[in-house]
Amino acid sequence: MHYAVPVTVLPANLANNPVIVPVHLAAGTLTDVNIIFPPGCARLVNIQIYHGVTQILPTTPETYYSEDSKEIHAKEYLRFDTGSNLFYVVGWNVGTSYQHRVHVYFDVRAVEELDLPETLMMMTEVLATLTNRIEGYY
């Protein structure tokens, strides 16, 4: 599942008054996050992403992303269920005169979709069961 979240940071959204955009994701595994800063941000627009009250991006607490005309691609592996599917995108500026819209894209793998390690583990278990049954016949 793919989610697109536009975050409009106004000149009034300073560090003490950030814009906070809640994002409800379906239960699953967060696999990728893309943050696209438009031209003109001049590294004065800052973005952080939280899962509940825990900052997940950037991974170093109390840091933030700030770019200009650049896409930041972050690989992530975070499992969550419906009880913990609330994320927040927090944005603020440092002295801009105009509003800026930063786009944040989330990729979530559904609960029923297996990833490679889970698939390999399941195949190993099936092969072991099959081997035991074949050995039982001889």
Give SS3 for 21. Answer: strand
Q: Is the peptide bond before 38 cis (omega within 30 degrees of 0)?
A: no
pLDDT score of 125: 86
* Residue spans of beta strands (DSSP E) within 66-138: 70-80, 86-93, 100-110
- Report the pLDDT averaged over residues 28-47: 96
Q: Which of 3-7, 23-27, 52-56, 133-137 has the lowest mean pLDDT?
A: 133-137
pLDDT score of 48: 98
Q: At 51, is the pLDDT very low, low, confident or very high (cuts 50, 70, 90)?
A: very high
Per residue in 52-84, pLDDT (tens digit) is: 999 999 999 999 999 999 999 999 989 898 788
pLDDT score of 38: 96
The answer, yes or no, to whether residue 96 has pLDDT greater than 70, is: yes
Residues in the chain: 138
The answer, yes or no, to whether residue 137 has pLDDT greater than 80, is: no
Contact yes or no for 1/110 (Cβ under 8 A): yes
pLDDT score of 114: 65
- Report the pLDDT averaged over residues 101-111: 94
Per the DSSP assignment, residues forming a β-bridge with 4 are: 105
